[in-house]
Amino acid sequence: MGAGFILGGFCPGTSFTGAAIGKIDAMVFVGGLFIGVLLFTEGYPLLEKLYMGSYKGTPKVSSAMGISDGLFLFGLVIVAFGMFWVAEWAEKRFPLKEESK
């Protein structure tokens, strides 16, 4: 269902409404919804351990990388500034050509 939300642009309620008024994409989404529910139901024994897992605390990228929070934040700020610089450079290097009317 999650991939369908992204691809179809429908939530379950709006998909049924769209299907009711004859929208083909909504009908396909409703079919995908039922397929997704069926696949989850049949695959649940394989996923049960993950699905029923307990809360392990708030995961942190810095902990997973084995660095301090401050060092991670510093690196993140440096990367953000770098990406802003790259975006500015790209805007200057590849300017949009506006259409004249």
Q: What is the pLDDT of residues 12-69, one digit of tens each?
A: 888 899 999 999 988 988 898 899 889 989 999 998 988 888 887 888 999 989 999 9
Provide the b/e sequence for 78-101 (b: ≥16 CB within 10 Å).
eeeeeeeeeeeeeeeeeeeeeeee
Q: From CA 2, how far away is CA 101, in angstroms rounded?
A: 42
pTM above 0.85, yes or no: no
